[in-house]
Amino acid sequence: MPIPRVPSRWVYDLIVRAFSFLVGIFFREIKVHGATRVPCEGSVILVAAPHANQFVDSVILMDILLTLNRRVSWLMAEKSFSRPFIGNLATSIGALPVSRAMDVAQPASGTILLPDATSNPQLLKGIGTNFTSSEFRPGCSFYLPTINGESHKLEIAEIRGPDIIILKTAPTSKDAFFQLTGKRDFTEREIPGFCGSKFKVAPHIDQTTMYEAVFNSLRNAGCIGIFPEGGSHDRTSLLPLKAGIAIMALGALAQNIPVSLVPVGLTYYSAHKFRSRAVVEFGDAVPVDPGLVEDFKIGKKRDAVHGLMSAISRSLAAVTLSAPDYDTLMLIQIARRLYLTGLTGNDESSSQALLFKTKLNKRLLLGYTKHSSNADVISIKRKLRSYVASLAALGLTDNQLTSITTDHTHFPVLFLLPRLLYRTSKFVILAILTLPGLTLFTPIFLITSRISRRKRAEALAESSVKIHGHDVMATWKILVATGLAPLFYTIYVTGILFLHNHNHLYGYFNDVGRIKIALSSYAILLFITYASLMFGEQGVDLLKSLYPLVLSLGPRSYRTINTLKEDRRILVLEVKEMVHRFGSELFPDCEDIQKWKGRGPRSLYAKISPNVDLEDLGGLDEFS
Does 333 fall in a domain?
yes
Q: What is the mean pLDDT of residues 91-113?
A: 86
Q: What is the mean pLDDT of residues 508-529?
A: 81
Asked if 506 and 392 sit in the same domain, the reply is no
At position 616, the amino acid (one-letter code) is D
pLDDT at 206 over 90: no
Q: What is the mean pLDDT of residues 47-65?
A: 91
Instruction: Provide CB contacts within 8 A for 236, sequence distance 6+.
Output: 322, 323, 324, 325, 326, 328, 329
Exposed / middle / buried, residue 61 (Cβ in 10 Å: 0-12, 13-18, 19+): buried
Asked if 154 and 285 sit in the same domain, the reply is no
pLDDT at 479 over 90: no
What is the extent of the structural domain holding 294? 9-100+206-319
Asked if 84 and 122 sit in the same domain, the reply is no
Asked if 95 and 242 sit in the same domain, the reply is yes
Q: At what angle do helices 555-586 and 375-394 cross, to 10 degrees?
A: 150
Exposed / middle / buried, residue 271 (Cβ in 10 Å: 0-12, 13-18, 19+): buried
Number of domains in the chain: 4
Contact status, residue 367 vs residue 373, Cβ threshold 8 Å:
no
Q: Are strands 223-226 and 72-77 parallel, antiparallel or unpaired?
A: parallel
Residue 123 φ then ψ, to 5° = -85, 120
Does 219 fall in a domain?
yes
Asked if 210 and 315 sit in the same domain, the reply is yes
Spatial separation of the C-alpha atoms in residues 406 and 508, rounded to whole Å: 56
Asked if 246 and 275 sit in the same domain, the reply is yes
pLDDT at 593 over 60: no
Asked if 109 and 19 sit in the same domain, the reply is no
> pTM of the prediction?
0.76
Spatial separation of the C-alpha atoms in residues 575 and 331, rounded to whole Å: 12
Q: What is the pLDDT of residues 600-616, one digit of tens each?
A: 433 333 333 333 333 33
Spatial separation of the C-alpha atoms in residues 595 and 221, rounded to whole Å: 50
Does 382 fall in a domain?
yes
Spatial separation of the C-alpha atoms in residues 99 and 79, rounded to whole Å: 8
pLDDT at 595 over 70: no
The whole-number pLDDT of residue 614 equals 33
pLDDT at 456 over 80: yes
Does 615 fall in a domain?
no
Q: At what angle do helices 412-462 and 514-553 cross, to 10 degrees?
A: 120
Asked if 18 and 121 sit in the same domain, the reply is no
Spatial separation of the C-alpha atoms in residues 229 and 236, rounded to whole Å: 13
